[in-house]
C-alpha cells in the first residue's frame, strides 16, 4: 500500500475525520434541499430548512476545525454560523410579526 493510501485509510478511520465529513455532507444536502424547493416552486427559493442544515453543517465542521486547531476553518465556520443564525432569527421574527 502506498504512503498516500495508508494516510487516507488512517484519516477515514479517525472519528474526528468522520465528524468533519458529516459536516461537509450536510453542506451538500442543503444544496439539494434548496434545489428541490426551487424546482417545486419554479422559482429561486431558500427554505428555512436550508438555514438549519447550514447551521448544523457549519457547527460540525467548526468542532472538527477546533479539534484540528485550524484557525482558517474556525474563522470561516464562525462567520457562517453567525450568518445562518441571523437568517433563522430574521425569518422567525418576520413570521411572528406577520401573525400579529
pLDDT digits (tens, 9 = 90+) for 46-92: 999 999 999 999 999 999 999 999 999 999 999 999 999 999 999 99
Whether the per-residue pLDDT at 7 is higher than 90: the answer is: no
Task: Give percent above pLDDT 90 in the chain.
Answer: 68
Answer for the pair 60, 19: CB distance below 8 angstroms, yes or no. Answer: yes
Q: Cα separation of 71 and 79, whole Å?
A: 12
29 pLDDT more than 60: yes
| Grid cell of 81 as nine digits | 454560523
Nearest to 43 by CA among 32, 30, 52, 34: 34
pLDDT at site 76: 94
Amino acid 10: pLDDT:
79
Specify the higher pLDDT residue, 94 or 37.
37
Query: Mean pLDDT: which of 5-9, 16-20, 58-62 is highest?
Result: 58-62
Amino acid at each position: 500500500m502506498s504512503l498516500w493510501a495508508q494516510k487516507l485509510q488512517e484519516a477515514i478511520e479517525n472519528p474526528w475525520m468522520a465528524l468533519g465529513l458529516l459536516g461537509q455532507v450536510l453542506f451538500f444536502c442543503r444544496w439539494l434541499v434548496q434545489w428541490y424547493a426551487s424546482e417545486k416552486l419554479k422559482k429561486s427559493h431558500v427554505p428555512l430548512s436550508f438555514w438549519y442544515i447550514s447551521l448544523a453543517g457549519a457547527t460540525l465542521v467548526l468542532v472538527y476545525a477546533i479539534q484540528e486547531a485550524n484557525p482558517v476553518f474556525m474563522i470561516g465556520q464562525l462567520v457562517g454560523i453567525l450568518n445562518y443564525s441571523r437568517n433563522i432569527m430574521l425569518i422567525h421574527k418576520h413570521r411572528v410579526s406577520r401573525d400579529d
